Amino acid sequence: MNPFNSFRFIGIGGVCLLLASGCSSFRTEIGRPAGRTAAFVEGQSRVEAVVQQLGPPESATRLPEGFAFLYEHSVIREFQLGISVNYSILRFIKFIRAWNSLDQEAILLCFDDHGILQKASSKHWKERLGGGSAAQFVLTVMSLSDVSRFLRPADAHSWGRALLEPPPVTLNSGQSLRSGEHGLRQQRIAPDYAGQHALEMAKPISEKERRRVKKDYQNQPQPPGR
Amino acid sequence: MKSPFFSLPAVALATLLLLPGLVGCVSKSSEMGVENSWRGASPPVFEKGRSTQSDVLRSLGPPSQVIALHDQTLFYYLREQSRTKAVYLVLYNQTRQRITYDRAIFFFTKQEVLSDFAYSREPIAGE
């Protein structure tokens, strides 16, 4: 090959590489697929069979006529296509376009006081979580997804702490959907600032706080003895 | 005469040589919740109809949540683990986060006798 062509080949390849810089893929999976629920028969299946097959639920609650289990599985995906231009100071900046999606599965099982399955409902769906565009430093890798709603610790961790929250939250603990005695809390994707939670007068968190949620979640202090 | 492509291959080559120095990877994990003693080297053994609330509390400690059902009491133990693995190659970056819950659930009768229990099928390694 002509040396000039070799240089040209390398040059064009290099330009392509530089233009395509900064593609990123993010995937966050919460929980595990619950498995098949078709084997359960309303009015016949017992709670023992359910927990043996599906394991303990994501959350459980008492109901006026029995109790209920909620199982959830979430997969959040984000793909970012990034390009940069090898010109002047622009070579240090990448321009990205991001697409986000959610793959969600939820199963609700209601039992009577004797542990007999009364109602079973499940759904598996996919939806877009939105997207975005950004200009970032070429070495920055940052998700544009708002996953703060998904990355909150499970409610069971804060069960005993509910009485130490600010007064509106503490006073609401007698009816709280997170205590497991007054109904199931809503799914992770549902907003926190509507319905029964409105009594807690919590303010929607800011964009800065949303970013901190993910950071804090990943830096949880280890419990004693671990 | 100097080739107009001279600088371009040089830049591309320099970039290719620099790239290996820019790559990186991350692996981190965090855990929270109660200690999952039911995954330990010698896990406690419970028997339906015989074990009591005291046996479970003595073996596993305080639960994450206690739920009073109408005729039963439910003890719910939860340990949560987040594991993140990421590869940064500048040209392509990939981040994978997996959040796993290790749960144990115990049902007790009004007489505080264990009527049923179950563990998650997806364990987090215990101590």
Torsion angle defined by CA atoms of residues A36, A39, A40 and A43, in that order, rounded to the nearest 10 degrees: 160
Residue of B nearest to A26 (CA): B95
Alpha carbon distances (Å) from A45 to A50, A92, A113, A122, B114: 8, 61, 13, 16, 20
A111: closest CA of chain B, how far (Å): 11
pLDDT of residue B108: 94
Q: How far apart are CA B10 and CA B8, in angstroms?
A: 5
pLDDT of residue B49: 93
pLDDT of residue A226: 38
Q: How many residues are present in chain B?
A: 127
Contact list in A for residue B78 (CB cut-off 8 A) is 154, 156-157
A53 touches chain B (CB under 8 A): no
pLDDT of residue B104: 93
Using CB atoms, pick whichever of A26, A143, A181 lies closest to residue B67.
A181
**Domain regions of chain B by residue span:** 23-119
Residue of B nearest to A153 (CA): B80
Using CB atoms, pick whichever of A29, A61, A220 lies closest to residue B67.
A61
Contact list in A for residue B31 (CB cut-off 8 A) is 220, 222-223, 226
Q: How far apart are CA B101 and CA A163, in angstroms?
A: 25
Positions in chain B short of pLDDT 50: 1
pLDDT digits (tens, 9 = 90+) for A103-137: 999 899 999 988 999 999 888 999 888 888 888 88
**Confidence grade of residue A177 (pLDDT, cut at 50, 70, 90):** low
Q: How many residues are present in chain A?
A: 226
Contact list in A for residue B12 (CB cut-off 8 A) is 10-11, 13-15, 17-18
Would you say the ipTM is above 0.85?
no
Using CB atoms, pick whichever of B12, B33, B74 lies closest to residue A15.
B12
